[in-house]
Amino acid sequence: MPDTLLSIQGLSAGTEDKPILHNIDLAISAGETHVLMGPNGAGKSTLGHVIMGDPSYQVSSGTITFDGTDITDFAADKRSLAGIFLSYQAPVEVPGVPLYSFLRTICQMRPELKTTARKFRQRVSEICEHLEMDDSFLTRELNVGFSGGEKKKIEMLQLLLLQPKLAILDETDSGLDVDALSIVSHGIEAYRQECNGALLIITHNTRILERLDVDRTHVMVRGNLVGEGDASLIDEIDSTGFGRFEQALAEKGGVSE
Amino acid sequence: MSETPDKKRSEVADVDRSLYDFVMPEEGYERYADGLTPDIVRAISAKKDEPEWMLEMRLKALDAFHEMRMADNWGPDVSALDMDHISTYVSPKTKQARNWDEVPEDIKTTFERLGIPEAERESLAGVGAQYDSEIVYHNMREEVAEQGVIYSTIEDALHDPKWEPIVHQYFGTLIPMRDHKFAALHYAVWSGGSFVYVPEGVSLSYPLQSYFRLNASGAGQFEHTLIVVEPGADLHFIEGCSAPKYYEANLHAGAVELFVKDHARLRYSTIENWSKNMFNLNTKRATVGADAKMEWVSGSFGSHVSYLYPTTILAGARSRCEFTGITFAGATQDLDTGCKVVLNAPDTTASVDTKSISKDGGVNTFRSSVVVGRKADRARATVSCSSLMLDDISRSDTIPAMDVRNATASVGHEATIGRISDDTVLYLMSRGCSEAEARTMVVNGFANPVSKELPLEYAVEMNNLIKLEMEGAIG
């Protein structure tokens, strides 16, 4: 595939004392929307963090190629600058760092996003309006004292500002009420349209997917990718759960945990 | 990424301090012999053409200095400080100017590089600039002078028949010469500093600023700052200090005496960035009248060893004290800082909020003392201290003392100590910040409650200092 954006081949990774991911193969092309599903503890978030370059996980074999470059050994900041974004399940609070100046800093460090203070302010206001975020959020400290839903909106705000080529959304839908979920879905849609961005959506429920056109669905069980299909796979999982995939992995002799 | 101590990091001895670390030649300067004798004290006094009482005070203080022993049970070791090799008086060959163009080129360049004339033009009501032992520049906006505000050197005030009695009335009364050995030293050889007098009811809309620069190697700086804020008046005073790095020890033993009368307010802001061969043994004290307020903002970045505990005496009913401070200790630094508040009247309140950052083996000791006197009914004091440790080889200690002698008073203390978490660094890196940028951002955020209290240009300077230090930390 000439337009493959992310290509993961034979990837195994884990913490020092525990292997988590086993021989993962995954390819995402520019502009595609992929969904990664699986039961709790399957290793979905770990895969997201390994793609982002979280040093608490070590890659024992395999490669990650992004936009034609082998990034397996890149630190997280290099991957971010190359165009990968990970929306955190639980965004970290950073006391004393005002949200607005943080946003300005992370945009100004990217040559393609450098802009005047005034244009930047306009852009941030637009996105805030879109995400139904109060302007007063911007003067507060990064993620400090925000509700779970508000933190997810701040992640969306960063996503829309940074316009990455690939966004990994780690349980972005968890803990959101119906209204917040709808706003976040709009944000994701805007990202797809405005930036032709590719998505890897990690979730274990299907509500957020109802509003999105999904290209491929992957199923992870105990650190193995055990199933792949189109959007219809989501409906199947929705009605029958992960039983069939867990069984298939067991029959395969599975890779030990 | 991990926070295990990295030997290489601690070996980065110094960061690029080129902004502060430049030395001007000392040619043609008047430099008195090292060591401390009555002759040197007499020479300093004669040069200043002082009133007799001041010379007597100096000589008494010199006796006290020789008599008093070095505290051997206190704070960081200062035995490397050899008074026989510190020159107590070094004077540039210039007269005090009121116009920067009259200041000798090398000295003017120094202050220009430190941004002083620019700040004066933009945001200050007046500026004093001290170079080694003498004030080389002193000026104040005319409209401020018209309100009756006095901002001069103490030497000039002593030569003015109108102000000499005022200086005599206050000088040395708040910090007694026998307070400690270095207070005695200070009174024996003091030189330079500022005298500020704000008349009753006068509010200054811009701050006054004194900047102290110690250029000479192996010398001491002993400036005396005396500020009287009369009833209902309001003043913001800023003090900045820096020095280039030398291998010989330098000594700073200044004294700051602040008199805040009833219903007055004084904010005293300091950014101290002495070089890392400096022994900064400084004494600051304020007495506060009824319904008056004393605010301290204190940033300590430099020096090899610091003893610094600004003291506030809440003498009048309902008087208040707010202390906001930050101390940053890097390699070779042992900084013993904090504050003392004495609540001596009913309904007085004190709030102390300090931060400390240690890295590369730097040692921070936060020392606070809250004393509530018998008459201080319903007095309230809170002390909060948080420390950030950037590696495993640095050290941070908290020594809070409380002495409460009134049953209706309430005193609270909290201390926290923390590190930069790997999760926070990763989160910021996942948004494109390098590891160094991420850590600097966290440290700046930690310091933010203090920097937002500083005038803008000082907040910027403080953030730059943190950035310089952090760049040194991550090679």
CA B278 to chain centre: 13
Cβ within 8 Å, pair B444-A97: yes
Distance (Å, whole) CA B469 – CA B448: 16
In 3-state terms, what secondary structure has residue A75?
Answer: coil
- Give a yes or no: residue B15 inside a domain: no
Please answer whether residues A204 and A89 qualify as being in contact, where contact means their C-beta atoms are separated by less than 8 angstroms. Answer: no
Tokens linked to A156 = 């969306």
Contacts of A54 in chain B (CB under 8 A): 426
| Residue B240 CA to its chain's centroid (Å) | 7
A39 CB-near residues (< 8 Å, 6+ apart): A204, A221, A242, A246
Check B435 against A75: CB less than 8 A apart: yes
Inform me whether the pLDDT recorded for A205 exceeds 80. no
Query: Do B1 and A75 make contact, defined as CB atoms within 8 angstroms?
Result: yes
Residue B2 reports pLDDT greater than 50: no
Compute how many other C-beta atoms are within 10 angstroms of the C-beta atom of residue B206: 16
Q: Structural domain tally of chain B?
A: 2
What CA–CA distances, in Å, run from B96 to B109, B156, B365?
16, 10, 39
**Average pLDDT, stretch A232-256?**
82
Residue B216 identity: A
* ipTM at complex level: 0.95
Cβ within 8 Å of residue B94, ≥6 positions away? B103, B104, B107, B134, B136
Whole-angstrom distance, CA of residue B256 vs CA of residue A162: 51
Are A81 and B430 inside 8 Å of each other by CB?
A: no
Q: Calculate mean pLDDT across residues B87-112.
A: 83
A76·B445 Cβ contact <8 A: no
Q: Are residues B303 and B437 in the same domain?
A: no
Q: Quote the number of domains for chain A.
A: 1
Distance CA B357, CA B364 (A): 8
Instruction: Check whether residue B465 and residue B351 sit in a common domain.
Output: no
Summarised one tens digit per residue, pLDDT across range B189-210 is 999 999 999 999 999 988 998 8
% of residues, chain A, pLDDT over 90: 71
Q: Which residues of B1-35 are buried (b: 16+ CB within 10 A; e: fewer)?
A: eeeeeeeebbeeeebebeebeeebeeeebebbebe
Q: Examine residue A237 and state whether it is found in any structural domain, yes or no.
A: yes
Mean pLDDT of chain B, nearest integer: 88
Say yes or no to pLDDT of B232 above 50. Answer: yes
Please check whether residues B338 and B451 belong to one and the same domain: no
Residue A25: domain span: 4-90+164-251
Is residue B13 included in any domain, yes or no? no
In a domain, B428, yes or no: yes
CA nearest neighbour of B313 among B258, B267, B263: B258
For testing contact with chain B, the best of A92, A102, A163 (most B CBs within 10 A): A92
Whether A84 maps to a domain, the answer reads: yes
**Do residues B70 and B108 share a domain?**
yes
Determine which of A93, A94, A113, A114 to mutate to test the interface with B (most B C-beta atoms within 10 Å).
A94
Decide if B148 is inside a domain: yes
Confidence of residue B243 (pLDDT cuts 50, 70, 90): confident
What whole-number distance in Å separates Cα of residue B94 and Cα of residue B92? 6
A222 and A56 in contact (C-beta within 8 Å)?
A: no
Which position has the higher pLDDT, B295 or B75?
A: B295
Distance CA A8, CA B431 (A): 22
Ranked by mean pLDDT, which of A127-136, B236-245, B270-279, B336-345 comes out on top? B336-345
Write the residue in B2, B429, B447 that is nearest to A76 by C-beta: B429
Q: Look at A209 and B41; give whichever has higher pLDDT.
A: B41
**Residue where the block lists tokens 């595939």:** A1
Those of residues 39-58 in A touching chain B at CB distance below 8 A are 52-56
Contact residues, chain B, for A103 at CB < 8 Å: none
Q: Give the angle subtended at the CA of A20 by the CAs of A45 and A168, to the nearest 5°.
A: 20
- Domain annotation covers residue B6: no
- Measured CA to CA, the distance from residue A252 to residue B189 in angstroms comes to 88
**C-alpha to C-alpha distance for A254 and A45, rounded to whole angstroms:** 20
Say if B156 falls within a structural domain.
Answer: yes
The alpha carbon of residue A57 is apart from the nearest alpha carbon of chain B, in Å, by: 12
Which of B289 and A257 is assigned the larger pLDDT? Answer: B289
Rounded CA-CA distance B390/B35 in Å is: 40
Residues on chain B touching A76 (C-beta within 8 angstroms): 426, 429-430
Residue B405: the pLDDT is 97
Please give the Cα distance from A58 to B95 (Å, whole number). 67
B236 and B119 co-located in one domain: yes
Q: Taking all residues of chain A, what is their mean pLDDT, rounded to a whole number?
A: 91
| B366 domain residue, yes or no | yes
Residue A168 to chain B, least CA–CA distance (Å): 11
* pTM of the model as a whole: 0.84
Which of B129-143, B230-244, B288-302 shows the lowest per-residue confidence on average (mean pLDDT)? B129-143
- Measured N-to-C along each axis, helices A148-162 and A99-108 cross at an angle, to the nearest 10 degrees, of 30
User: In the listed set B375, B396, B421, which residue is the last one of a domain according to the structure?
Assistant: B421
Asked if A106 and B432 come within 8 Å (Cβ–Cβ), the reply is yes
pLDDT of B76-96, one tens digit each? 888 888 888 888 888 877 778
Output the DSSP codes for B340-380: EEEE-STT-EEEEEEEEEE-TT-EEEEEEEEEE-TT-TT-E
Q: If you average pLDDT over residues B240-269, what whole number do you get?
A: 89
- DSSP-derived letter for residue A215 is S
Give the CA angle between residues B310, B316, B322 to the nearest 5°.
40
The confidence score (pLDDT) of residue A114 equals 93
Separation of alpha carbons A14 and A33, rounded Å: 26
Which residue in B284, B363, B275 sits closest to B323, CA to CA? B284
Residues spanned by the domain of B464:
422-475
**Tens digits of residue pLDDT in B295-340:** 999 999 889 999 999 999 999 999 999 999 999 999 999 999 999 9
Q: B158: which 2 tokens? A: 């002593």
